[in-house]
Each structure stands twice: as structure tokens, then as C-alpha cells.
């Protein structure tokens, strides 16, 4: 009986570790991009989306109201929408690098970790990574 309890406990701990791993979002941008993105966001996005992405004339860009699991957003869909439709009044007017950096900043603000590989404009357009805010 004691061995059975140990086995069940071990299985539960293993499943918990797997679930925690699955819940960790991928690192698809660099810290340098997010840092540059904070400045680009302040200059091009904050007037509509708020200084802290809380929303205003435009929707919030942080938290579950922005990207919950039930929204079924992907990195590619949201990146494409941003790159083709923003900023309001001048869609598509930023450089590829500015869009990459701003999106990296949005990912960072939503709890996605930075990594060693930079977010790439063309790859981001087709990225099927689910976008679910890690901020509650």
C-alpha cells in the first residue's frame, strides 16, 4: 500500500511538472528587442492603447482581456494585424524592425520570456504559437 501511495504521488508530481512545462510560453524575442520596443511603443502606440497597455481609444494590450486562451489568438495573426493595420491613421508605416520590437515589448508585458533568438518579421507573420497572456 505504501508503494502504491509513493507511485501515485510520483505520478502526480510528474504530471504537474509536465503541465508546468506546457504552460511556459516559448521565448521568441530578445530582451534587446523588448527594450527598443518600449520606446517605439511609447512613440507610436501609447496614445491609443495607454502608457501601460491598459487601453484607451484602442483596446488593452495586456492581460486576459487582451489574450485569453478562449480567444484562440496566435502570434502570427496578431502580429500580422498589427503590422498591416497599425498605427491608426498610418497603417504599415513603421519599419519591420519597429514592428518586431513593439511586438516583443507586448509579449514581454504579457509574461512571455525573452530568449536568444530575435523575433523576425517574416517568420512572425506565419507563427502559429498560441498567444495567451500570462498576466492574470
Question: Domains in the chain and their CATH numbers?
Answer: 25-125 (1.10.760.10)
Q: Does residue 109 contact residue 51 with C-beta atoms inside 8 Å?
A: no
Q: What's the pLDDT score for residue 8?
A: 40
- Residue 2's pLDDT is 53
Q: How far apart are CA 38 and CA 12, in angstroms?
A: 41
pLDDT in tens, the chain (136 residues): 555 444 444 434 433 433 333 468 899 999 999 999 999 999 999 999 999 999 999 999 999 989 999 989 999 999 999 999 999 999 999 999 999 999 999 999 999 999 999 999 999 999 999 999 999 8
Distances (CA, A) of 39 to 19, 36, 46, 60, 76: 35, 5, 10, 18, 22
Amino acid at each position: 500500500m505504501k508503494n502504491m501511495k509513493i507511485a501515485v504521488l510520483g505520478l502526480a508530481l510528474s504530471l504537474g511538472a509536465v503541465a508546468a512545462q506546457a504552460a511556459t510560453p516559448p521565448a521568441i524575442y530578445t530582451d534587446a528587442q523588448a527594450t527598443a520596443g518600449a520606446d517605439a511603443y511609447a512613440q507610436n502606440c501609447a496614445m491609443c492603447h495607454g502608457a501601460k497597455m491598459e487601453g484607451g481609444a484602442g483596446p488593452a494590450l495586456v492581460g486576459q482581456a487582451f489574450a485569453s486562451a478562449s480567444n484562440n489568438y496566435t502570434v502570427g495573426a496578431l502580429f500580422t494585424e498589427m503590422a498591416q493595420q497599425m498605427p491608426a491613421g498610418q497603417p504599415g508605416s513603421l519599419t519591420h524592425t519597429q514592428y518586431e520590437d513593439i511586438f516583443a515589448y507586448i509579449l514581454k508585458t504579457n509574461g512571455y520570456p525573452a530568449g536568444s533568438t530575435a523575433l523576425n518579421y517574416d517568420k512572425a507573420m506565419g507563427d502559429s504559437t498560441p498567444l495567451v497572456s500570462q498576466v492574470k
